[in-house]
A and B are shown apart, each in its own frame.
Chain A
């Protein structure tokens, strides 16, 4: 028995001993443990023995083997090289990788490659399809509920969670118009809604401050029938020719001023507006369903 084999046996015993110390009791060598643990311990033992055999074999081969074969002509400081045949498996892998490289270059990478934007586009598309299917025919209650959640994200940062405009920092959506806004429009005209009402409204249709005050009060308080002075001023300013007798508005000519409806909300979202309070940007990133939902929600707020 030579030194190598002796060393292998000692190492094997040492490793088996280590295995026993580490997992012996869990592996059920004392009779306990389930069969999964037993199998694992058996695997560990087999691994140790196979490793010892293989290592021993190659160490002995390195010690004893003499090389055979035809030497290549070239040598480097006396170190030569055999002209051996390429092993068959290597040849197969080599040729196979050439074929794979062609496929990868022509089809694999360009067609199947991962792209972050591609994944994003798929995510959006999948969402849109699902959304469309889920919200095909919404009943008014669902629409309003959806409008509420869109409102919190898109509108509440300016109009406030209660839609009251946060102490005049934005329009109060629980009420269509206040006196300040009406006066501002009469004095400055209005040309906010270029898409739906391309004509705009000329300024100074009324010039008498008393009449302007009366109209502002009449419009802001909701066209009360007993406000004769307001109504007279409203007619005197020819407001009714475009906005209608009771402020119901006229398609393509003038917006509704006696309350909110979905069409009014859509108009504002389309063009944004700039008035007595400040400016509001257009919100063209909302989907059609979201706009409808917001319309329903805001209409409901002012009821």
Chain B
């Protein structure tokens, strides 16, 4: 075997690569595969949350806000438990971000509420003195894109086997199910149901009226997404 190999530089190089890569394969791959499994309690995004995630990406929130809490005491004091890789199992793409002009948002759903977000997105400096974040007034007028969110849900369910309509274990031992509608109309209806819960906690009359009339402003979807970050 060796006599055969040593006369053939190309196959020799391949063999060397396999030998060297072997250690990497058995050490890195299994750990990696295990660490990227969803953490218990991590749920796929509902239709409205996913639409909000699209709003988040569309407005480049990730240019100023990270979603990655590093294991330092100063960070975990402020933002909560450090991030685990399995928590991003349903993030496509992940929104770690690389610069914190604003604070980290990985677990913002734990310490901010719907009405706070509403006040803040309308006029950040009125809630956080000295904030340089711009106001996002158009989110109160633009309509969220439920169609795209539903299309993404169908895709990730088919391609990546994201467990929609399946029981997902939660940290407290109970189970939860994230429903995925079987038609576009169904997806619109379930997103509207979610939106009504959010809108009930909001003060903006235009937003409330819009949701009552059956359209979902972007801000409602975004707040649903932010509230889901835990």
> Which residues between 158 and 207 of chain B lie within 8 Å of chain A, taking CB atoms?
201
A31 within 8 A of B: no
Please tell me if the beta carbons of A278 and B113 are within 8 angstroms of each other in the complex.
yes
How far in angstroms is the closest Cβ of chain B from A275?
A: 11
Q: How large is the interface on A (under 10, 10 to 19, 20 to 34, 35 or more residues)?
A: 20 to 34
How many angstroms from the CA of A281 to the CA of B114 in the assembled complex?
A: 10
Please tell me if the beta carbons of B119 and A116 are within 8 angstroms of each other in the complex.
no
Residues of A within 8 Å of B126, CB to CB, are 166-167, 169
The stretch of A97-105, A120-128, A220-228 in contact with B is: A120-128
How far in angstroms is the closest Cβ of chain A from B60?
A: 22
Residues of B within 8 Å of A167, CB to CB, are 126
Please tell me if the beta carbons of B111 and A283 are within 8 angstroms of each other in the complex.
yes
> Which residues between 144 and 172 of chain A lie within 8 Å of chain B, taking CB atoms?
153-154, 157-158, 161, 166-167, 169-170
B80 within 8 A of A: yes
B110 within 8 A of A: yes
Please tell me if the beta carbons of B113 and A281 are within 8 angstroms of each other in the complex.
yes
A68 within 8 A of B: no
Please tell me if the beta carbons of A161 and B71 are within 8 angstroms of each other in the complex.
no
Given A120-B72, A120-B82, A127-B73, decide whether A161 and B115 contact each other with a Cβ distance below 8 A: no
Interface 1/0 per residue, A3-14 and B, CB below 8 Å: 000000000000
> Which residues between 110 and 142 of chain B lie within 8 Å of chain A, taking CB atoms?
110-116, 119, 126-129
How many angstroms from the CA of A285 to the CA of B72 in the assembled complex?
A: 15
Residues of A within 8 Å of B8, CB to CB, are none
Please tell me if the beta carbons of B201 and A279 are within 8 angstroms of each other in the complex.
yes
Please tell me if the beta carbons of A124 and B127 are within 8 angstroms of each other in the complex.
no
How far in angstroms is the closest Cβ of chain B from A117?
A: 6
Please tell me if the beta carbons of A124 and B73 are within 8 angstroms of each other in the complex.
yes
How many angstroms from the CA of A123 to the CA of B77 in the assembled complex?
A: 12
How many angstroms from the CA of A242 to the CA of B110 in the assembled complex?
A: 32
Please tell me if the beta carbons of B71 and A281 are within 8 angstroms of each other in the complex.
no
B58 within 8 A of A: no
Residues of A within 8 Å of B72, CB to CB, are 120, 123
Which of these, B82, B111, B201, contacts A278 with CB under 8 Å?
B201
Residues of B within 8 Å of A201, CB to CB, are none
Which of these, A120, A153, A169, A279, contacts B127 with CB under 8 Å?
A169
> Which residues between 38 and 86 of chain B lie within 8 Å of chain A, taking CB atoms?
71-73, 76, 78, 80, 82
How many angstroms from the CA of A120 to the CA of B76 in the assembled complex?
A: 10
Please tell me if the beta carbons of A166 and B113 are within 8 angstroms of each other in the complex.
no
Residues of A within 8 Å of B127, CB to CB, are 157-158, 166, 169
How far in angstroms is the closest Cβ of chain B from A182?
A: 19
Please tell me if the beta carbons of B119 and A169 are within 8 angstroms of each other in the complex.
yes
Residue in chain B with minimal CB distance to A287: B77
A280 within 8 A of B: yes
Residues of B within 8 Å of A127, CB to CB, are 73
A250 within 8 A of B: no
How many angstroms from the CA of A51 to the CA of B141 in the assembled complex?
A: 79
Residues of A within 8 Å of B82, CB to CB, are 117, 120
* Residue picked from B82, B111, B129, B201, most chain A C-beta under 10 Å: B111
Please tell me if the beta carbons of A278 and B115 are within 8 angstroms of each other in the complex.
yes
Q: Can you spell out 22 A-B residue pairs with CB atoms less than 8 angstroms apart?
A: A120-B72, A120-B73, A120-B76, A124-B73, A153-B78, A157-B112, A157-B116, A157-B127, A157-B128, A158-B112, A161-B129, A166-B126, A166-B127, A167-B126, A169-B116, A169-B119, A169-B126, A169-B127, A170-B116, A277-B115, A278-B116, A279-B115
Q: Which 3 A-B pairs have the closest CB atoms?
A: A278-B115, A120-B71, A279-B113
Q: Point out residues on B near A: beta carbons under 8 Å.
A: 71-73, 76, 78, 80, 82, 110-116, 119, 126-129, 201
Q: Point out residues on A near B: beta carbons under 8 Å.
A: 116-117, 119-120, 123-124, 127, 153-154, 157-158, 161, 166-167, 169-170, 277-281, 283, 285
